[in-house]
Structures are given as structure tokens and as C-alpha cells.
Amino acid sequence: MSAFFAIYLREMLILKHKFKRQIASMSVSPLLYMLTFGCALASSVNLDGVSYLEFLIPGLVAMASMTQAFAIATDINVARFYFHAFEEFQAAPVSRMSFVLGETLAGLTRALLSIAIVLILGFLFGVRLHLGFYFFAAILLNSFAFASLAVAMAMLVKSHADQGLLSNFIITPMAFLGGTFFPLDSLPTWAQAILNILPLSHASKAIRADALGQPPELIPFVVLAGACIVFFTLAIFSVSKARD
């Protein structure tokens, strides 16, 4: 447990060192989306009695929880390839579980910080959402899943440059196609079937349902919990692979 906390504390100290820059960085994208999409379309788009801005912000919460949780991979890459911190972990009595758990919870913490920013911005734009148990449960599951995936990918890549390719081919498409900006049920059936495979689609659905005061569905939470287990297991395996 002390090993896990040491790894988590290290990441938090790094975050503290660049806290102001992180806050500014985390604020830019959601602010632009709210201004360009939310305000521009708020008066002309109505989705079953919900304004587009009310529809958009839960999607931005889901997207922020994914992108910021996955962003921990960049810090791991920098520490691994430039500062050789992973070699120090290898020499220390740190188990694979402790390493993965510490880094995953660090990614989850970053995600929660970015979500707080999105919610504050939404409040300033006049949007009042229902923030209940299922809202936060979906956020935690989604953040944990993508933070675990980030650790796995950071251990599997062979160079820091490869990390950017993973983000371009995995995270960016998912951010735009995971039910963030538009309802998936407006798409053809075959497209819905493909996009419903994505964990972010289920996270967006669960977060938006509770935020708008709608009854929760079980399937999104089952899928997200399954993604947590699969990605966390993959992360542990990837650490073993990197140590070989």
C-alpha cells in the first residue's frame, strides 16, 4: 500500500507543480465547445424538450473524463523515456499492482479535476444539471477505465512519439463519435451498433441520463465495469511486458 501511495503522490506533486497550466489547458476545449456549439445552437436545437447546451455539457463531462484520464499516459512516457523513472520502479520493491493502481488513480484524479472545470463552466452558462449517485458512478468508472488503458498503452509503446499516434487513432475518434455532441439514436442502425461498442458511448449515455433526471439503465454500467476490469488487467500485463 505504501508503494502505491508513493507512486500516486509523485504524480500529484507533478500536477501541483504545473497546476495553473493544467487548469488553463483543461478549460480551453470545453469553453470553446460551449461557445461554438452550445451557444450557437442553443436557440435552434431542441432534443426532446432539452436545450442543446443541456445535452452537450454531460457529453463534455464524459469526454473530459476520458481524455484527461488517458492523458496520464503522457506523463508516464516522459518519466519512462526521458527521466528513466520506470527503471527506478523496477529496482524498487514496487509490485505491478501498486504501480498500475497508483498511476491509474492519478489519471482518475486529473479527470475529476477537469470535470469540475466543465461543471463550473456549465454553471456559468446557466445550465443546472442533476448531479446524483449514478452521475458520479459513471464518471468514476469511465475515468478508471481510460486511466487503466493509458497505463497499458504507455507501457506498450516503444517511444514517446508513438503515444501521439494512439491518441489520434483511439481517443480523438472516440471523443467525437461516442455520443458527446449528438444522440446516437439519430444514426443508422449499423452505425449505432458499431458506436455502442465504445465505452465512451455508454459513459455519455449514463452520465447524460442522470444529469437530465432520467432513470438509469443497467447496461452502460455493466459495460463500463467490464472495461475497467479488462483495461486494468491489460495494464498489469503491460507492466510485466515492459519489465522483460
Per-residue pLDDT tens for 194-211? Answer: 888 999 999 999 999 999
Q: Tally the domains of the chain.
A: 1
Using a 10 angstrom Cβ sphere, with 0-12 exposed, 13-18 middle and 19 or more buried, the burial of residue 154 is buried
Q: Is 86 helix (H, G, I), strand (E, B) or coil?
A: helix
pLDDT tens for 32-85 read 888 887 666 665 666 667 788 888 899 999 999 999 999 998 888 877 777 677
Task: Of 234, 70, 228, give the one whose Cα is nearest residue 152.
Answer: 234
Q: How far apart are the first and last CA of the chain?
A: 24
Query: Which pLDDT does position 217 carry in this prediction?
Result: 92
Q: Is 46 helix (H, G, I), strand (E, B) or coil?
A: strand
Helix axes 218-243, 96-124, angle to 10 degrees: 140
Give the structural domain span for 55. Answer: 2-243
- pTM here is 0.91
| pLDDT above 70: residue 136 | yes
Percent of the residues in the chain that have a pLDDT greater than 70, as a whole number: 90
- From CA 244, how far away is CA 240, in angstroms rounded? 7
